[in-house]
Amino acid sequence: MTRWLTLLPLVVLIGLGALFAFYGLKHDPQVQPKALVGRPMPDLALPALEDGKPVQLRELTAKGPVMVNFYASWCAPCEVEAPQLNALAAQGVRIVGVSYKDAPSKTQVFLARVGDPYVQRLVDHDGRAGIEFGVTGVPETFLVGRDGVILDKHTGPITQLDVDKLAARLR
């Protein structure tokens, strides 16, 4: 009986190795899940950056489609995408910014430095809204139609090549 107990760690190690070989080596790490695309965006109320008053996200689509952009002041790629967001806003695209796990004072300094393309600035203190949206990291942007249905998800910083494509999707 003790002989089997001494072999147990080896059996577990072989089992974990087999699991890695069959799943881990075939799993594409570049695949980004788009589970919410085609579904209504989460019905959340988040505090406004300026005064902390709750804002219903779904109400923001009443005036037309919006982009919901999760960003943070500590996020270098968020700073890289700032000029493209400002360009989209200049084209009339309505962008809602959600400050993800960031202090409001740092967010305000960040927006003063890189520009503020947002029609509404919201705060996700604890990351709960990010979980509801399925955010895997910042920056992440969701295109939301007038009906509140998520049309697309863009993971990573928006590049110059993405600007026209995203603007066309929201018109």
Phi then psi dihedrals of residue 127, to 5 deg:
85, 5
Q: Give the pLDDT score at 23.
A: 66
Write the pLDDT tens digit of every residue in 142-171: 999 999 999 999 999 999 888 888 888 877
Q: Domain 33-169 belongs to what topology? A: Glutaredoxin (3.40.30)
**How confident is the model over 24-58, as pLDDT tens digits?**
666 555 555 677 899 999 999 999 999 999 999 99
The pLDDT > 90 percentage for the chain reads: 71
DSSP state of 35: T
Mean pLDDT of the chain: 89
C-alpha–C-alpha distance, residues 122 and 96, integer Å: 8
Distance, in Å, from the CA atom of 157 to the CA atom of 130, rounded to the nearest integer, reads 16
Is pTM beyond 0.85? Reply is no
User: What pLDDT does residue 164 have?
Assistant: 83
Using CB atoms within 10 Å of the CB of residue 55, give its burial: 0 to 12 exposed, 13 to 18 middle, 19+ buried. middle
Residues 125 and 47: their CA atoms lie apart, in Å, by 9
